[in-house]
Chain A
Amino acid sequence: MEQPQKTVQQQLETATRSYDPNTGLETRDMLLNIGPSHPAMHGIIRIVAKLDGETLKDIDVEIGYLHRAFEKMSETVSYNGVMPYTDRLNYVSPLINNMGYCMAIEKLLDLPVSERAHYIRVIMSEISRVTDHLTCVGASAMELGAFTVFLYMIKAREYLWELVEVVTGARLTISYCRVGGLKSDLPEGFAEKTHAAFAEVRKVLVEVDQLITRNRIFFDRMKGTGKISKEDALSYGMTGPFLRSTGVNYDVRKDFPYAIYDQVKFEVPLGTSGDNLDRYYVRMEEMEQSMRIVEQCLKQIPGGPVAVDPQTGKPMEASEMVDRAKMGQIDKITDKIAITDPTLEGSDSRVHDKILVSEKRVSLPAKEDTYGNIEGLMNHFKLVMFGHGIRPPKGEVYFPVEGANGELGFYVVSDGTDKAYRVRVRPPCFTIMSGLHKLLVGEQMADMVPTFGSVNMIGGELDR
């Protein structure tokens, strides 16, 4: 029988005494417990390292500190009820998770979704991809000591999150997609806001590029560290910017185009050496490409105006109204009506059809129908009542989307009831974490920081 591999701790406890041949002094490797509470271990993991001086000789990676039983929880609620849980997978780019899960269920239902809904989903997930990369690059730079870069990146992310907030009403826990469509349409003036935000983001990217790309210290810290070969990356099942930095041209958006990715032009940046520097370059370029996709989508998106025309008072963004109410400034909002979900206009509105598929077994009716006629009310209750809801046919389905870290796949098994029999997520950073020792062993302790930063480990996604 094969002996189980010894952990670092066991190795050190059972180590025989060794002596330096030159000096005759006894030498011992040092055990260093890094995490789970350590400034570089954002997202909570633990690395037990065997150190020789500053060199990492061996590491044990311990994950699971953020396990919240996402998959089990998904089996206990209705299909649409899973949506808030998916927000909390990769909480830096939640819109991509939303989209991935919805598209998996839609595939299970064999449900065609309106083109406008697909465009909006793509726009939102590309914006999320930019925010994710901004966070990742910024955090890596911060851990290298360039704190200013991090704050610049966060400033840029702020512009994008404002966009997300305008559309979804929330910044992080957005729960925006629905099986068969979306919660609401884009607000009025979204395209202008997006162009303005992108202009700011591009400014920041140029600034950051000037600050660190040709900075000798940054370059030396990133170049050649955290290296992984093409073969290793493939054998561990790594995807996303991590795999592309090694030169493998694999991007779910290109290789298995979903939604409307086949209708937009974009390039997939590739690295050559698979080190931290290449991953940085790939991420920086991907941000630009994502913005390019959004700009094309905004040009091509079908459909017209979307926001509710208010009858009385001045309209106000729903999100702004919520903010005011939180601060207790009720008087400022009493005479206003909220610009909300266009679905409030009713099913006779053109908009409702544009973002939700007109399939009564899946989509909630427009609120006016729910409140206005018996068919709408029945339809509503048939979808939201306990024991009712969306009932996909028996079967199983796997649907991958390109998450910010790589291939984010949802594997869903349906037994024909209103709840999934099994939901399994293929989180992109899980595979990267399983190959972490390939990246770290033999490197310096200080290299752990940029390497781990470039993994962009997101605890919520890793531990689920």
Chain B
Amino acid sequence: MIWDIVIKLVIAGAVFFFVLNLAGAHTWLERKQSAVMQDRIGANRATLFGQRLLGIPHSIADAVKMFTKEDFIPANADPFLHTLAPFLSVFFAMVAFAGIPFGDHLMLGGRMIELQVAKVDVALLYIFAMLSLGVYGVILAGYASRSNYALLGAMRASAQMISYEIALGAGIAGIVMIYGTLDLQEMVRAQGGLAWGFLPKWGIFLQPVAFFIFLTAALAETKRTPFDLPEGESEIIGYFVEYSGMKFGMFFLTDFVETILVACLATTLFFGGWQIPGLSVAGFNFFGHLIAVNPVIYALLGVMSFTLKVLIFCWLFMAIRWTLPRFRYDQLMRLGWQYLFPIAIANVVITGLILALVK
């Protein structure tokens, strides 16, 4: 019993540590990625013991700056709600990671350890629930700030969330129908093996339409360009316009954490999670030859595969962010309701028909 708790705590700690650090590293990656795309050098002024280290100290400098800045609450704002908003925002983004499986189970000392913080049967629903709750932080920030700009940002955020959550849910329905489960760990297991003998049974190959709906809607969830209307830095500055110091930092962090979360989800649902094509518990299948792999190494390889896929998605989101301009409010709604949603529904219907015919 005590061991179960300790193991869960260790896993939760590891995930927490990994996500927060990746979010920190993300600020650096984003700076460098945008610099590469824009023919610049990127941030490289901060030093650590006189070393520039390719600008990595900027992530630390950022954190120091955020923590030491004055925490300002506007005179007419509600201090309690104003303070609560960033916490809500970052909390729901963080707890959503509990449902993400980042590896197959690990056998250690006769104990089977699931590499997932919480084994929830409806992990997918749980994550979407947390994602949706996250918007409360944004709305609250807008309303509690007593600023017209923040209010506009919050309005945009809520409208965006409502329209995209539905497209997202309907898009995912196809994948749920194919794998027949809401348990993400089971879903990833179902993605092992090959379809028609040559393709990995990954979601993207079985449900390509669902993947693109998911990608678009998920980008909208992360509130980054081209869907950064709630922020809209050149129009309304955003829902966090009245925040300073670490409270602003928390919104900032939420952005990155949500990006990582969406990358994790995309990996889990469509890119086989921790699966490596050809690798199974029995060993690595190399053109018919089975090469045995130590179970611990097998589990670790899975974790590495998962991490790599997540990083690739993070990079993809960054590349999109620095390429596209921003949508307008009504254009965004039109895209969500008039294009994505009907396509998602059509996808569900067609998937259902095919499943019915195959069975």
Contacts and interface: CB of A to CB of B under 8 A. Distances in A.
Contact of A151 (B40, B233, B236, B327): B40
Nearest to A155: B39
Interface secondary structure of A, over-half rule: helix
Given A444-B330, A445-B236, A32 B325 contact: no
B235 A445 contact: yes
Contact of A40 (B40, B151, B235, B325): B235
Interface residues of A, number: 33
Contacts of A444: 328-330
A217 B324 contact: yes
B152 interface: yes
Contact of A146 (B237, B325, B330): B325
B329 A446 contact: yes
A232 interface: no
Contact of A212 (B228, B233, B235, B325): B325
A142 B151 CA distance: 23
B148 A220 contact: no
B199 to A, nearest CB: 31
A449 B327 contact: no
A147 B329 CA distance: 19
B207 to A, nearest CB: 24
Contact of A54 (B149, B152, B326, B327): B152
Given A212-B325, A217-B326, A221-B326, 15 more contacts: A30-B148, A39-B234, A51-B148, A53-B155, A145-B225, A145-B234, A145-B325, A145-B326, A146-B325, A148-B323, A215-B324, A217-B324, A220-B328, A444-B330, A446-B329
B331 A220 contact: yes
A181 B236 CA distance: 48
Interface string B216-246: 0000000001101100111111000000000
B323 A143 contact: no
A341 interface: no
Closest 3 CB pairs of A and B: A145-B326, A144-B325, A143-B234
Interface string A47-80: 0000101100000000000000000000000000
A281 interface: no
Contact of B325 (A53, A141, A447, A448): A141
Contact of A152 (B39, B228, B232): B39
Given A145-B228, A445-B236, A446-B232, A217 B327 contact: yes
A446 to B, nearest CB: 5
B129 interface: no
Given A148-B322, A151-B39, A221 B148 contact: no
Interface string A120-148: 00000000000000000000011111111
A446 B235 contact: yes
A39 B226 CA distance: 18
Contacts of B194: none
B142 to A, nearest CB: 13
A218 interface: yes
B156 to A, nearest CB: 8
B318 to A, nearest CB: 12
B149 A32 contact: yes
A445 B149 CA distance: 11
Interface centre among A211, A212, A445 (most CB of B within 10 A): A445
Contacts of A151: 38-40
Interface string A23-61: 000000011100000111000000000010110000000
B107 interface: no
Nearest to A453: B234
Contacts, number: 86
A221 to B, nearest CB: 6
Interface of A: 30-32, 38-40, 51, 53-54, 141-148, 151-152, 155, 211-212, 215, 217-218, 220-221, 444-449
Contacts of B326: 144-145, 217, 221, 446
Given A39-B234, A147-B322, A152 B38 contact: yes
A38 B229 CA distance: 16
A449 B234 CA distance: 7
A54 B325 contact: no
Contacts of A145: 225-226, 228, 234, 324-326
Interface in B28-43: 34, 37-40
Nearest to B331: A220
20 contacts: A32-B148, A32-B149, A39-B233, A39-B234, A40-B235, A51-B148, A54-B156, A54-B329, A143-B235, A144-B326, A145-B324, A145-B325, A146-B324, A147-B38, A151-B38, A220-B328, A221-B331, A444-B330, A445-B236, A446-B235
Q: Most A CB atoms within 10 A — which of B40, B148, B323, B324?
A: B324
A446 B148 contact: no
A154 to B, nearest CB: 9
Nearest to A49: B148
A146 B228 CA distance: 12
Nearest to B224: A145
Contacts of B328: 220-221, 444, 446-447
B148 A31 contact: yes
Interface string B24-57: 0000000000100111100000000000000000
